[in-house]
Structure 1
Amino acid sequence: MMASERAEIDSAAALWLERMRGPVQDSAVAASFDAWIAEDPRHVESYALMASLWQSEGLAQAACPTRAGNDNAAGLDAADARHGGVWGRRRWFGLAAGLAALAVAVPLGQGLFAPTHTYEASWGATREITLADGSHIQLSGGSRLSVRLTPWSREAELEKGEAFFDVAHEALRGFAVEAEGARVEVLGTAFDIDVLAGGRREVRVYRGLVQVAGESGAWRLPAGTGLILDGAHVRSLEGIGGDRPGWLDGWFDAQDTRLDRLIERLNRTSRIPVELDDPQLGELRVTGRFEMHRPQEIVETLAAIHGLSWSRDEGRYRIGRQ
């Protein structure tokens, strides 16, 4: 490869690195980056090199002499702010060309073909996961999550169930979670995603800021708020308190919640499944705070609230009409 072509790729990689370091990237930017990174294996190598050098001491040492030797650095930085970062990009071009010569000292292979790890929690149990980047994830019973960490991205997919994410902050890599067509993107925060039957997804933010993108649009959610995506219907959630969801402590707060939704959540923690004899009973509503580790008490309470009958047979609880 000619030196000019190498320099062009390195410059593009440096610009993408600068762009992807923003706090939240919209889906169009992410799609453009994915297309660029997949276009040529050399793009992967160059971006990984830029990322490695950005986090190394070598970058700071390379940048400091440039600033120290420029009496007009403060003025140029002010102009940079006024003109959308043009000088910053030019500075990156120079650094990219110079630092590319250090490629032999940077292990590029590590992470370029990072595997996807899949985690599952069995019904009636929760599972705690610590990722290599220091992020902590807790899965509710019956949940399945896939995670892939690369030098330039942190991607996860919640295939089913519920997960609480306490994401380690990084200046370079964001953290994105796909959940049944919804995409949640953050840098460092704590949030909960619940994938329910019928494609309903619920997102609650406990710390920081997230962006949620779905088929109906995109929304930014600060701590204490949330969103319910149910097909084309979207509903905001307010007044989310605490620093973690109640299910981590064995509780569920129902607010005019459908009976079948409550039972779906109960079955994630109960080792004895709960079933409705008539699916139409699932449309009944309930409000209250339930201790999810006491399934029989919940079944008794639900039956009393709505004048239903209940029984335990064949290793399960059944709720039906009287």
Structure 2
Amino acid sequence: MGQEHHSIDWQAAQWVERMSRPVLDSAAAADFDRWILRDPRHVESYARLSALWQSGGLEVALGDEAVPLSPSNDDELEPEPATPWPRRSWLRVVPAVAACCLIVALGMAGQGLLVKESTFSTGHGQTRIVALQDGSTVRMDAETRISVRITPWSREVTLERGEAFFDVAHERLRHFAVDTGGARISVLGTAFDVDRIDGDTRVIQVYRGLVSVDAGAGRQWRLPAGSGLELSGERVRSLTRVEDRAPDWTEGWLEANEMPVSQLVHKLNRVSRHRVELADPALGDLLVTGRFRTNDAQSMLDAIAAIHDLDWRDAGDRYILKRPS
């Protein structure tokens, strides 16, 4: 039995190290969820070692006999041979164990008490503010859907469609991650906006703090406040002039900084009573800079038409942007 507990502790120690990294891909996060939910003892061990890691007491507890942790590609994180930690070392971690008693009790009571999952959505022209369990808030734009999964060891949001502004409560232990289906954003505590425009395009803008973005295939970025990134397939574009405390759409404005017309139209169609269509798809590649009211589609179309010498017409139930006849 003692060897089995040591095996679990070793697996938990490896997971603590992996989960503390600035960037964690979605596959590793899924592996972690499967591991920790497999056995209540995994929850207890991870909580205990996480408390040590967070408090800086790991080196004190282990002294000179600490074993460096190394990353592993093994989904199950099988234990490696290691010298058992001395009994006297564990006597020093009693406060950390006590601090985790509530999590342990919940783990023994059942997995359902540990994991809280919710889904939120907005319709056409609607916005919504969602307060999460951890103190974070999510402001959702129109036609947006998110899935939220909060556990004692992780904070995960999936942006299934639309745009959302995240004001994340700072926690040293639990990262806050947003999965957009093509990129994963990880933070500890910050404010940032994510727009899932279509199947290929995601726009990330940082208003406070620092975020890590992982688009897979080794493509990773660290974005400080005031910067942003547009990912569209293999194309990457850096964004600047992210200067306000929150995106303009939260106040009913649309700020365009060299934004393609296709993106402008996509955003407008989330709130406009009349759908906007492009007579020629090539018009979507034209770039626009300006600030527009989201509830005034005609003024926005007038501005786009003036900038690029275009025209638009009212087709009754929709507006059509086109080249002059």
Contact kept, 8 Å, 1:111 with 1:149, in 2: the verdict is: no
**Residue number in structure 1 paired with 2:261:** 259
**Residue number in structure 2 paired with 1:287:** 289
Q: Could you report, residue by residue, the CA deviation over 1:131-164 in whole angstroms, capped at 9, with x for unpaired residues? A: 1111100111111111111121111111111111
Following superposition, the deviation at residue 11 of structure 1 comes to 4.4
Following superposition, the deviation at residue 257 of structure 1 comes to 2.2
* Change in 2 beyond 3 A, CA 1:289/1:163: same
* Change in 2 beyond 3 A, CA 1:144/1:80: farther
Contact kept, 8 Å, 1:127 with 1:140, in 2: the verdict is: yes
Distance 2:138 2:253 in 1: 18
Following superposition, the deviation at residue 278 of structure 1 comes to 2.6
Matched, 1:120 2:121: yes
TM-score by length of 1: 0.78
Secondary structure at the residue paired with 1:269? coil
Matched, 1:48 2:46: no
From 301, 311, 314, the equivalent of 1:312 is: 314
Distance 1:47 1:199 in 2: 37
**Residue number in structure 2 paired with 1:190:** 191
Distance 1:95 1:205 in 2: 44
**Residue number in structure 2 paired with 1:177:** 178
Matched, 1:155 2:156: yes
* Change in 2 beyond 3 A, CA 1:10/1:103: farther
**Residue number in structure 2 paired with 1:9:** 8
Stretch of structure 1 that moved more, 200-209 or 90-99? 90-99
Q: 1:38 is aligned with what amino acid? A: R
User: Structure 2 matches for 1:1-322, cutoff 5 A?
Assistant: 2-17=1-16, 19-20=18-19, 22=20, 24-27=22-25, 31-32=27-28, 34-35=30-31, 37-39=33-35, 41-43=37-39, 45-50=40-45, 94=90, 99=97, 106-108=105-107, 109=110, 111=112, 114-215=115-216, 217-322=219-324
* Change in 2 beyond 3 A, CA 1:19/1:280: closer
Contact kept, 8 Å, 2:44 with 2:104, in 1: the verdict is: no
* Change in 2 beyond 3 A, CA 1:102/1:279: closer
Secondary structure at the residue paired with 2:230? strand
* Change in 2 beyond 3 A, CA 1:313/1:170: same
Distance 1:39 1:110 in 2: 12
**Residue number in structure 2 paired with 1:70:** none
Cα RMSD (Å)? 3.9
Distance 2:103 2:162 in 1: 44
Following superposition, the deviation at residue 281 of structure 1 comes to 2.4
TM-score by length of 2: 0.78
Secondary structure at the residue paired with 2:203? strand
Q: Which runs of 5+ in 2 are unaligned?
A: 71-83
Following superposition, the deviation at residue 187 of structure 1 comes to 0.8
* Change in 2 beyond 3 A, CA 1:106/1:115: closer
Contact kept, 8 Å, 1:13 with 1:46, in 2: the verdict is: no
**Residue number in structure 1 paired with 2:77:** none
Distance 2:271 2:288 in 1: 19
Alignment: residue pair count:
303
Stretch of structure 1 that moved more, 274-283 or 146-155? 274-283
Q: Which runs of 5+ in 1 are unaligned?
A: 68-72
Distance 2:91 2:178 in 1: 33
Contact kept, 8 Å, 1:23 with 1:174, in 2: the verdict is: no
Report the identity percentage.
42
* Change in 2 beyond 3 A, CA 1:94/1:25: farther
Q: 1:186 is aligned with what amino acid? A: V
Stretch of structure 1 that moved more, 221-230 or 92-101? 92-101
Secondary structure at the residue paired with 1:193? strand
Secondary structure at the residue paired with 1:181? coil
